[in-house]
Structures are given as C-alpha cells and as structure tokens.
Amino acid sequence: MGVTARPHDLIRLAGGAVAGAELPGWAVASLAACGWAVVRRAPHPPGLIPIGVRGPQRSQRHATLVPAEEVTRHVPPEELNHPHPHATLPTALCDTLSAVGPLLAQELGREAVWGPVGSVGFELATGHRVTHPASDLDLLVRMPHRLPPATAARLVTAFTTLPSRVDCQLETPPGGISLSEWARTGGPALVRTPHGPELVDDPWASP
C-alpha cells in the first residue's frame, strides 16, 4: 500500500519481517510474533520508511529502514484516542487516556489532533500487551500553530491530577518539543528534528 508515514505512526509489515540480514535475533523474533513497528524521526531515501523495532526488554530497540510497499496497515496516533473494546490497558492508563481528551479540548478546542504513542499506542494498535500498571501515558499533540506557554502550563498542571503520569510531546513544523519544557521556558526549546536535536527560539517561527 502507498503510505505517507510520520514519526510515531505505527505500521504493520508484510509477513512481519524486514528484508535484510542486519536484524538482531531478538528483533527477528519480535517481528515474527507481532509484525508491527513504529516510524522513527530520521533522514531516509525516497520509498523507504525509517522504523524502530521493539523487543520484550526496554533496552531492545533496533533502528532500520523498510520499503514503503512492505506496509500492509498504517495507524497514526490520532486514530487511537478513543475507547477500544479489545484494549488490555491497566485501569489507571485507561482512565488517564479517557480524561486527556476533555482537558485538551478545553485548552486547545475540540479540533485538537492528538493520540497516544509509546507503549500505550503500540498496545492499542496491535493488541500486543506491552504496558504495566506503572507505565506512563506518552501523548503526541499535533500543533501547527504557536501554543502560548501559559496554555501549556495549564495542561501540564492538569495532567498531574490524572492517575498515570503523562509525558506529552508537541509536534511543531520543525519537529517535536516537550510540552513541559515549553511551559517552563517559552523558548528556546529543544526540537527533535529528522537530523537530530536543535535548540530553537520559536518552533513556530518561519525559517
């Protein structure tokens, strides 16, 4: 299938495998058991998608590239921000995920585009259990326009009242920034770009 994948999107691979012999054994086994990977933020040639393969251990992460035609399903984070009947998440994470939407709508408007990433997003997309009761809820909020630091600070405060810890990243035009960092400093901010981290005064300023 033709797919335009963005960082943090989840993709399922044909046959659950990546072409090439460079994969470590644990990654081969992981893809055989659950043929999903997460799209990374990295430079890549046309027709290839940079992905990360996750293993059963937190330290087991492998970066590689996969041809776009190997993708059989594509799930962005914003498709995972509603209840799932097959969800296996611990209660605290379910409750936190349910509470996030109204908080974001209150501060950003109902048109806010967001979704869970990290282990929660992976579990919701794949049905493969990877979370535990102490897991954080990693969030991605697409933020094409400037977010006032005061609004960011209100969200950070609201998130501290939820059952599970929330780690929120804003996706800005040049890349990803931490909501808590932006709330604290209002710039400069460390932006995760495809070419590595960059310190930027205003992530929404025109270059």
d(CA 60, CA 52): 10
201 catalytic residue (yes or no): no
**Separation CA 57–CA 133 (nearest Å):** 16
121 class by beta-carbon count within 10 Å (0-12 exposed, 13-18 middle, 19+ buried): buried
Q: From the candidates 9, 95, 136, 167, give the one annotated as an active-site residue.
A: 136
Q: At what angle do helices 91-108 and 149-159 cross, to 10 degrees?
A: 160
Q: How many residues does the chain have?
A: 207
Q: How far apart are CA 159 and CA 166, in angstroms?
A: 6
Give bridge partners of residue 200 from the DSSP assignment.
189
**Bond preceding residue 188 cis, omega within 30 of 0:** yes
Pairing of strands 137-142, 166-172: parallel
DSSP state letters, 81-92: SS--TT----HH
Q: Which of 138, 167, 201, 202 is catalytic?
A: 138
Q: Is 138 a catalytic residue?
A: yes
Distance CA 42, CA 189 (A): 19
**Catalytic residue set:** 136, 138
